[in-house]
Amino acid sequence: MKKIGILHPEISAVVASMGHTDMLVIADAGLPIPDHVQRIDLALSEGVPPFLKTTQVILGELKVQEAIIAEEMLTRSPQIYEQLRQALPDIPIKHVPHETFKQITGEAKAIVRTGEFTPYANVILIAGVTF
């Protein structure tokens, strides 16, 4: 049994397989997931697991050089944006329209679906390098 880090086998495998500029999406319960992108569905019930906690756990293992969010998050869910900003203190965050965000998710290695019910609680994490 793995004793530290991400215990979920699919998430652990995706993070371990990511290379520079690969993308991993952490999504709320409502984000559409393209059929060709790996879906890792964690949603159990409303709010479980939460978007921010899931993001923080993944950030513990994934080197991130940039993040992308829907610009609508800034006005519709500013509390989520502020908490995400705190979780990514030195990482640039690019803002794009939600429709563009959804198109970009089609290029991701995987999408982790949470039980989050807060509008626009989604982030695309772009992998960096550790050297």
What pTM, to 2 d.p., does this model score? 0.97
Q: What pLDDT, on the 0 to 100 scale, is given for residue 18?
A: 98
Domains within the chain, CATH numbers bracketed: 20-127 (3.40.1650.10)
> Would the annotation count 36 as a binding residue?
no
pLDDT tens per residue across span 3-28: 999 999 999 999 999 999 999 999 99
Q: Which of 8, 20, 36, 95 is catalytic?
A: 20
Q: What pLDDT, on the 0 to 100 scale, is given for residue 23?
A: 98
8 catalytic per annotation: no
- Which among 71, 120, 66 is positioned nearest to 93, based on CA atoms? 66
| Residue ranges for the chain with pLDDT beneath 50 | none
> Would the annotation count 122 as a binding residue?
yes
CB-based contacts of 33: which residues, under 8 Å, 6+ apart? 27, 39, 105, 111, 113
Q: What pLDDT, on the 0 to 100 scale, is given for residue 67?
A: 98
> Would the annotation count 81 as a binding residue?
no
